[in-house]
Amino acid sequence: MKLIKMNMGVLTIIIIFEFLVVANSQDQLKVGFYNQVCPKAESVVTNIVRDAGKFDHRIPPGLLRLHFHDCFVEGCDGSILIDKGNTSEKGAFEHQGLTGFNIIEDAKAKLESICPGVVSCADIVAMAARDAVAFSHGPVYQVETGRKDVLVSNIDLANRMPDVRDSIELLKQKFIEKGLNEKDLVILSAAHTIGSTACFFMEERLYNFASLGGPDPSINPRLLPELTLTCPINGDVGIRLPMDLGSEDTFDIQILQNIRSGFAVLQSDAKLMDDLTTRGIVDSYFDVWAPFFGPSFEADFVISMLRMGRIGVKTGSNGNIRRQCTSFN
């Protein structure tokens, strides 16, 4: 792991300010929620994520994506983890390809053995995503905890997940519906800095963009042959390719540079350049004065992750603590 490459005093002030601004909105969420009731909670999750990530580079991006998908349905409430057949949220088309469930279960089993009935599955997902970012050489930050696990998991509730084929207008609207803004859209899309995608999600963009029977014209001509070679027409749609070419396993700002240069792999990432506001946000990180006076990608990512982590949380009597993350008590 590494610390953020910026003035740490400035970063600390930014993050503390972000906590204070919304403190009244989620009084029951706080950093260190388990300090007294289960002091080892966070270290248990960190150690399990770290040990798993050492042997499988797909673990960190899988855990980061799992947190995003959990939060963007009915809130950060562990609903994505329930496995009760075809009716549970986990089985939705929008969630295909999600991984990391076994890591969450391993952490839950360990925590139940030392602090039974105390740590929620929803919090484990949030903590694991934080550790996945740090393990990938991204910013090290503290996550708010205190969520309860939801009592409902419904496949029909996943139909408003952001999709790689969405227009920029629709993507913005879906984020607004969750209380997030255009900057959050840019920054959370940049989570694609780690991980890969399947050729299944590339077919339309490469061979039938906008139903016109050809590739997306925004793809840089130097990138197109590489994409079509990896994902040939009528080829194996399960083949995977990095979402951040040249930097698949390292959390860094390269993803935004790729997007600016027409080297975005996912169509939804490329769409960030179709809107004046989102394009301006992307460009702001590469202004000539950005290294001195501009925004910090790492600090902004932390803030957007904290904002996302507050979506629709269940606290108090609105949820419970599951004994197993895959089933209701």
Catalytic residues: 69
Beta bridge partner(s), residue 241: 197
268 and 216 in contact (C-beta within 8 Å)?
no
Task: Print burial letters for 214-234: b (CB count within 10 Å at least 16), e (below 16).
Answer: ebbeebeeebeeebbebbeee
Question: The tokens of 242 are what?
Answer: 């990095």
Binding residues for heme b: 192
